[in-house]
């Protein structure tokens, strides 16, 4: 079987995007792992699939697989690439596109300058829905790791996030501490871990250890979660420039019950075929 694919990236967060409408790939977890492998496959942080919707009111179904083969609920950088892909491949001529994900409906808007704005929906803050093992909703929570108390904010953007404040983003122990928090018992479905350095009320630096992937150059849902967490603690303005290792995103959130709006680039790298 040959699979046609497009390699794309959003701020260095890279994706294999597969048109599952004109072809029917049987994407088992093992095959996703093979395709995602950077030495023996194509290589990516996540694999994205475009499918026919199951709901009549939306345009496409958007599925996301991590490099370890696990299917996950949401990916913000991937959503921007998804929007560019379906327009470039002439699967739609719309500039405003609705897609269904495992966590709900998303609206993607392709702007005149080529950037893509994504309505990420309202953040989920109730601990049992994040999910997080905590009794009450609070701006911050605590957990114990290696006899140290770690304070963090927690938000779901359709996928769970923990956000830690750090003084120096370059010195943050992203790989080691991120891995320990990702699989901590407080998070029944594991968690993405953001390390946030506040520059000002309208600017932060951010690194993210993604669940099932490790540190990536950018994480759209992680940027949204960091801004929401910072806003809940009274640290950030309504609109924030988020500097990630791969580039910048603009995140806007006006408050509880309102959608988070993420704006940033999406880039096609190359098209190809692979025999499996």
Alpha-carbon distance of 105 to 24, in angstroms, equals 23
pLDDT of residue 30: 97
The rounded distance, in Å, linking the Cα atoms of 211 and 218 is: 13
- Taking the C-alpha atoms of residue 266 and residue 17, their distance in angstroms, rounded to an integer, is 12
What pLDDT does 103 receive? 85
pTM score: 0.91
Single out the residue of 89, 69, 88, 84 nearest to residue 213, CA to CA: 69
Catalytic residue among 44, 75, 81, 224: 75
State yes or no: is 219 an active-site residue.
yes
Tell me, what DSSP letter sits at residue 190?
-
Give me the CATH topology for the region 2-119+265-275. Answer: Diaminopimelate Epimerase; Chain A, domain 1 (3.10.310)
| pLDDT given at position 212 | 87
Closest CA to 166 of 123, 122, 127, 209: 209
CATH 3.10.310.10-classified regions of the chain: 2-119+265-275, 127-258
Give, rounded to a whole angstrom, the gap between the first and last alpha carbons of the chain.
5
Residue 75 appears among annotated catalytic residues: yes
From the list 44, 81, 219, 224, the catalytic residue is: 219
CATH architecture of 127-258: Roll (3.10)
pLDDT tens sequence for the chain (276 residues): 899 999 999 999 999 999 999 999 989 999 999 999 999 999 999 999 999 999 999 999 999 999 999 999 889 999 999 999 999 999 999 999 999 999 889 999 999 999 999 999 999 999 999 999 999 999 999 999 999 999 999 999 999 999 999 999 999 999 999 999 999 999 999 999 999 999 999 999 999 999 988 999 999 999 999 999 999 999 999 999 999 999 999 999 999 999 999 999 999 999 999 999
Element (H, E) at 275: strand 267-275
Which residues have a Cβ under 8 Å from the Cβ of 99 and sit 6 or more positions away? 53, 58, 59, 60, 61, 62, 79, 82, 105, 106, 108
């Amino acid at each position: 079987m040959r699979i046609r694919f497009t390699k794309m990236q959003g701020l260095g967060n890279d994706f294999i995007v597969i048109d599952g409408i004109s072809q029917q790939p049987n994407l088992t977890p093992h095959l996703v792992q093979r395709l995602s492998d950077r030495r023996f496959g194509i290589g990516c942080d996540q694999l994205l699939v475009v499918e026919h919707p199951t709901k009549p009111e939306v345009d496409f179904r958007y599925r996301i697989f991590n490099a370890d083969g696990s299917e996950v609920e949401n990916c913000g950088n991937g959503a921007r690439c998804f929007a560019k892909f379906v327009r470039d491949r002439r699967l739609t001529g719309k500039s405003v596109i609705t897609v269904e994900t495992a966590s709900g409906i998303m609206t993607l808007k392709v702007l005149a300058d080529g950037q893509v704005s994504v309505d990420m929906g309202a953040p989920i803050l109730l601990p049992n829905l994040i999910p997080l093992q905590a009794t009450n909703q609070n701006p911050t929570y605590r957990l114990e790791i290696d006899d140290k108390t770690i304070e963090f904010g927690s938000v779901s953007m359709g996928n769970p996030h923990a956000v830690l404040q750090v003084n120096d983003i370059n010195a943050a122990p992203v790989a080691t501490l991120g891995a320990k928090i990702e699989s901590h018992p407080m998070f029944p479905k594991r968690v993405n871990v953001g390390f946030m350095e506040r520059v000002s009320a309208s600017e932060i630096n951010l690194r993210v250890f993604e669940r099932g992937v490790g540190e990536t150059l950018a994480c759209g849902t992680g940027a949204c979660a960091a801004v929401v967490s910072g806003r809940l603690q009274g640290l950030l303005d309504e609109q924030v420039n988020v500097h990630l290792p791969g580039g910048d995103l603009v995140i806007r959130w006006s408050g509880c019950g309102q959608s988070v709006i993420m704006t940033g680039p999406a880039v096609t790298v190359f098209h190809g075929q692979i025999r499996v």
